[in-house]
Structure 1
């Protein structure tokens, strides 16, 4: 696999994970508050 493709894939997975965590955190704060 191309190294550039691997880097882009890892970055996309990382950003998706951060977005999912932040969304879950906001939902939890709304339910708690």
Structure 2
């Protein structure tokens, strides 16, 4: 993070990926299709 607590693009992508995985295998399978 920067000093003002904003996310870098890499961190934002990582959070999105973790959020997607947290939805569970069934949701991930639906997104893959």
Q: TM-score, normalised by structure 1?
A: 0.49
Larger fraction in helix: 1
